[in-house]
Copies of this chain bind each other. A is one copy, B any other.
Amino acid sequence: MPYRSTERTRQKKDAKRTAMMQTAVRVFAEKGYHAATIRDIVKEAGVAIGTFYFYFPDKETLFVHLYEETADFLLQTIYQAVQSRAALPQQLRAGLQAYVNIALYEPAVVQLLLVGGVGAVPSLAAKRTAFREQLTSIWQEALENALAAALIPPQNVRRAAELLAGGFDEVILNLLNHANPETEAGTAVPEMVQFALRAAAYVE
């Protein structure tokens, strides 16, 4: 059965790729991008150095893939949570809860996306802009729907979405530096929702 054999080989390889990616997030977070070496990553991931070069020509390429894939994961998770609800208050709450959950579970990933990426690898600047744009558009779409239903007054929803996107990220980053992130998250999510609803002048 040549197909299944190929499929199995592919899965095995993908597992190695995933292991390297997950290790790389940790290694970059601990040592910083420039101090971290390919050797550190393969050693911690328990794969041969040749395996690294099978997937990536160099450290920068791995880093760029890491940024893109973690950004996609974060965006999809938040978007799906928002779309699972119909009204703005519930959409904000679900989206922010999903975001906070990822931040608590994978702090290094969120730190990488929000703080660490661009200065380390200048070629990421355009990808960072795209990530910010997509994150903003999630909040913007929710505001546009509320505007269409006349639940918020006419306003520049793009600007409001930028303000929310940046504001939420600031709170989430501060959460990660908090002594007790889980407890703090319990008040942060409803406070962010209330702030956003007031800012958009949502009619209950």
- Closest B-chain residue to A156, C-beta based? B191
* A68 close to B (CB within 8 Å): no
Q: How many residues of A contact B (CB 8 A)?
A: 45
Q: CB-CB < 8 A to A164: which residues of B?
A: 167
Q: Choose, from A5-13, A70-78, A100-108, A118-126, the stretch at the interface.
A: A118-126
Q: Choose, from A46-54, A79-87, A168-176, the stretch at the interface.
A: A168-176
By the criterion CB–CB under 8 Å, are B159 and A163 in contact? no
Assembly stoichiometry (copies): 2
Q: How far, in angstroms, from A136 to B170 measured CA to CA in the complex?
A: 10
Instruction: Say yes or no: A163-B192 contact (C-beta < 8 A), given A119-B33, A119-B120, A187-B156.
Output: yes
By the criterion CB–CB under 8 Å, are A166 and B156 in contact? no
Q: How far, in angstroms, from A183 to B173 measured CA to CA in the complex?
A: 31
* A180 close to B (CB within 8 Å): no
* A165 close to B (CB within 8 Å): yes
By the criterion CB–CB under 8 Å, are A167 and B174 in contact? no
* A203 close to B (CB within 8 Å): no
* A117 close to B (CB within 8 Å): yes
- Closest B-chain residue to A200, C-beta based? B198
By the criterion CB–CB under 8 Å, are A170 and B177 in contact? no
Q: How far, in angstroms, from A162 to B191 measured CA to CA in the complex?
A: 11
Interchain Cβ contacts under 8 Å between A and B, 5 examples: A115-B128, A116-B118, A160-B195, A166-B168, A167-B167
Please give the residue numbers on chain A whose beta carbons come within 8 Å of chain B beta carbons, in ascending order. Answer: 31-35, 115-122, 125, 128-129, 132, 136, 155-156, 159-160, 162-171, 173-174, 177, 187-188, 191-192, 195-196, 198-201
